[in-house]
Structure 1
Amino acid sequence: MKVKIGELARMTGCQVVTIRYYEKEGLLKAPERTEGNYRLYGDDAIARLQFILHCRQHGMNLSEIRDLLTFSDNPTVSCDWINTLIKKHIMDVDRQINDLLHLKEHLKSLYHKCDGGKKSECGILKSLNNFENCTYCQKMKRKKSLQQ
């Protein structure tokens, strides 16, 4: 089956501009063209784009996807490195979950600081204006500086 870029976009839920970008970046091979210069994508290109999109849904960046595609096209070494890649993503997700749990607790504490009074008496606004004493903010600031 051969489809034009608009049909490919509809089939996959990927924007046309993103498909063109993936071509430019070499993730998708240059498609054949019609006499009118329309791009035509075959089954291999469709499967490759679906693979790319699936990887993106799993949080992989374009460099990682490029490595996976290169390996998939020519598997000449062990695939152990893929386990390492996935383990790194699992650790990233664990960090994100931890950060979100801390954020949730902080938001809960903010929620209980407002009694519905006037603006000048709102505990939430006072807390949000006092970021120097925000333990959550300080923890996130330290965490970011350690990652750099």
Structure 2
Amino acid sequence: MRIGELARATGVDTETIRYYEKAGLLPAPARGSNGYRIYGTEHLERLAFVRHCRALDIPLAEIRRLLEFLLHPETDCTDVDRLIETQLERVRARLASLQALERQLSALRGRCATGRLAGDCGILRELLAAAQEEVRPERP
């Protein structure tokens, strides 16, 4: 199959497929006499694996490590477990950060008094005050 067919079959953009090839996540495909890339089942399966890992927000470097484990099924998988545990910690940290962001936005939303003019907007005043606080030089 050609790159467009592979892209449609996996839902991965053609530029991303080329990037994954350059990054070593996909093996180089054979080339037809016309110079076009020719992908096989191996590419389809590998790309589906990479796509699924990316959907889990696993970084490319970690996906590369997971692929190595797939290529060497006889190796101990303790590092695979560690890798997923690390990813789970990252997700939990992001969730905590997003929850803090939600609280901040809710508090900011609470500053709104509907039906008022933008010049009297509590949200805009709060955002402006926070921005000014960030750029205010520190006092000795």
In the superposition, the TM-score normalised over structure 2's length comes to 0.88
Aligned residue pairs total 133
What residue number does 1:27 align with? 25
Following TM superposition, the consecutive aligned residue runs of length 4 or more in structure 1 with deviations greater than 3 angstroms are none
Identity percentage over the alignment?
A: 40
Structure 2 residue runs of 5 or longer lacking an equivalent are 135-140
Deviation of 1:76 after TM superposition, in Å, equals 4.2
What residue number does 1:104 align with? 102
What residue number does 1:118 align with? 117
Deviation of 1:79 after TM superposition, in Å, equals 0.5
In the superposition, the TM-score normalised over structure 1's length comes to 0.83
SS at match of 2:35: coil
Alignment pair present for 1:62 and 2:60: yes
Give the AA of the match of 1:114.
C
Cα RMSD for the two superposed structures: 1.8
Aligned with residue 78 of structure 2, among 67, 77, 80 = 80
Structure 1 residue runs of 5 or longer lacking an equivalent are 138-148
| Per-residue CA distance 1:57-76 (angstroms, 9 max, x = gap) | 11111111111111211234
Distance 2:131 2:101 in 1: 16
Give the AA of the match of 2:89.
M
